[in-house]
């Protein structure tokens, strides 16, 4: 038996023995997701135990080095672990911007001291992070950001405002872009800071979304003192760190294209809702054709995603490839929820009934509208693809 085959068997056995039954059920809503953090709220003991067991093995971040709290697995082993978890429907033990965004940036740009200080805590789910990039006048044109950091000798003094900061009111720390040089060209005066959200001068105000939820905030900085050892990368070179992190954010967001029940086709999921004809096919032929087209696109996306992750882990992905994946994955997810709404008809528009489980289909559908905006809009991704991958003239 090859090393990888025996790793697969050991992994399967361990998962069977340790993944609690509750953690093999499909995620129903936000409360089923474990975000960790200083004030972590666990839905039940099984969720807490699952996080602890996986973190102990370094399997919340299987491919990070063991020294930083990871599992030290090779890309092939990491893929096997993912496949074996999917096979038993095991939930991700920890959702974390620390894992999907900041961690990779720290591994590449952080000092040894910063890696040792932050990465193991991220791996164990002890710090919950938020992302302070966007500002009222700096979204797509992110490099225009104006939040100011002044050098005060032994610390930096930060003043300004961020917006659309997801979970800022629940986060423990922020990774934040600030302007440290106002005279330099806009991309060259930006630095990448980390600071505790409990620092005096940091405040947040939730923003209500179209879905009725409030998962993000306006975030204000009023004379916030940031220690000098909490700058990642060089001063005024934060744009490199920011762009690298955005690639990982786009990779994470593209995963939405896979949906939650990745194995089942949308047609199988929706056929009972729409009804069957005498041949057992979905009754509405127009909808059936649209859903069949979606299912073919979803299979193609899954295959593309598999290849992309392999290339990314092997360091072979084109730097603009995350834009391609982000565009395809988020447009696909929006289409998925359009079809769910079409299949359910007017019933799915119910907002608060028990039958609609508190308006779940409609709220999820409305939430997908943000998919092609967060992490950079679809138009911006298409611009990057045109310029960097297709090499189109004038792009």
Ligand X SMILES: Cc1cc2nc3c(=O)[nH]c(=O)nc-3n(C[C@H](O)[C@H](O)[C@H](O)COP(=O)(O)OP(=O)(O)OC[C@H]3O[C@@H](n4cnc5c(N)ncnc54)[C@H](O)[C@@H]3O)c2cc1C
* 231, 317, 341, 380: which one binds ligand X (CB under 6 A): 380
Tokens 């559908």, residue? Answer: 365
Q: Please tell me whether residue 333 binds ligand X under the rule CB under 6 A.
A: no
Q: Please tell me whether residue 146 binds ligand X under the rule CB under 6 A.
A: no
Q: Please tell me whether residue 140 binds ligand X under the rule CB under 6 A.
A: yes
Is 249 a catalytic site residue? yes
Q: Please tell me whether residue 377 binds ligand X under the rule CB under 6 A.
A: yes
Of 84, 249, 251, 331, the active-site residue reads 249
Quick check: 305 and 258 in contact, CB under 8 A?
Answer: yes
* 50, 164, 173, 193: which one binds ligand X (CB under 6 A): 164
Nearer to ligand X, 31 or 137 (CB): 137
Quick check: 179 and 146 in contact, CB under 8 A?
Answer: yes
Of 48-56, 124-132, 187-195, 349-357, the segment contacting ligand X by CB under 6 A is 124-132
Nearer to ligand X, 8 or 388 (CB): 388
CA dihedral 188, 194, 200, 205 (to 10 degrees): 80
DSSP-assigned beta bridge partners for residue 227: 155
Give the shortest CB-82-to-ligand X separation in angstroms.
25
Contact map string, positions 195 to 224, toward ligand X, x by CB under 6 A: ---------------------x--------
Q: Cα–Cα distance between 325 and 384 in angstroms, integer?
A: 12
Terminal CA-to-CA distance of the chain, rounded, Å? 52
Quick check: 328 and 257 in contact, CB under 8 A?
Answer: yes
Q: Please tell me whether residue 236 binds ligand X under the rule CB under 6 A.
A: no
Q: Please tell me whether residue 165 binds ligand X under the rule CB under 6 A.
A: yes
Nearer to ligand X, 71 or 215 (CB): 215
CB atoms within 10 A of CB 11: 20
> Which residues contact ligand X by CB under 6 A?
130-134, 139-140, 164-166, 216, 370, 373-374, 376-377, 379-380, 383
Active-site residue list: 249
């Amino acid at each position: 038996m090859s090393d990888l085959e025996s790793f697969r068997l050991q992994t399967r056995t361990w998962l069977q023995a340790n993944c609690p039954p509750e953690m093999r059920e499909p995620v129903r809503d936000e409360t089923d997701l474990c975000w960790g953090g200083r004030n972590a709220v666990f839905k039940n003991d099984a969720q807490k135990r699952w996080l602890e067991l996986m973190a102990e093995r370094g399997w919340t971040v299987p491919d990070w080095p063991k020294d930083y709290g990871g599992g030290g697995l090779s890309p092939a082993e990491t893929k096997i672990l993912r496949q074996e978890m999917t096979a038993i429907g095991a939930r991700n033990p920890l959702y974390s911007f620390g894992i999907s965004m900041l961690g990779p940036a720290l591994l590449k740009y952080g000092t040894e001291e910063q890696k040792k200080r932050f990465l193991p805590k991220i791996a164990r789910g002890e710090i919950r992070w938020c992302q302070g990039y966007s500002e009222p006048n700096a979204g797509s044109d992110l490099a225009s950001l104006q939040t100011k950091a002044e050098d005060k000798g032994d610390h930096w003094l930060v003043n300004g405002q961020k917006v659309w900061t997801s979970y800022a009111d629940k986060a423990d720390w922020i990774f934040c872009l600030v302007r440290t040089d106002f005279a330099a060209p806009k991309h060259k005066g930006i630095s990448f800071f980390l600071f505790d959200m409990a620092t005096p001068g940091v405040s947040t105000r939730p923003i209500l979304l179209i879905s009725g939820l409030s998962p993000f905030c306006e975030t204000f900085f009023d004379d916030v003192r940031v220690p000098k050892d909490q700058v990642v990368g060089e001063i005024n070179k934060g744009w490199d760190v920011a762009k690298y992190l955005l690639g990982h954010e786009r990779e994470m967001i593209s995963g939405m294209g896979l949906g939650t029940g990745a194995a089942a086709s949308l047609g199988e999921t929706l056929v009972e809702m729409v009804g069957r004809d005498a041949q057992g096919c979905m009754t509405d032929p127009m909808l059936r054709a649209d859903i069949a087209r979606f299912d073919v696109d979803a299979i193609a996306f899954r295959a593309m995603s598999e290849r992309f992750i392999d290339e990314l882990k092997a360091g072979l992905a084109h730097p603009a490839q995350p834009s391609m994946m982000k565009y395809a994955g988020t447009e696909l997810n929006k289409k998925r929820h359009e079809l769910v709404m079409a299949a359910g008809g007017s019933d799915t528009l119910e907002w608060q009934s028990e039958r609609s489980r508190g308006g779940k289909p409609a709220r999820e559908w409305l939430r997908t509208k943000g998919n092609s905006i967060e992490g950079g809009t679809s138009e911006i991704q298409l611009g990057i693809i045109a310029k960097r991958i297709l090499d189109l003239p004038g792009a």
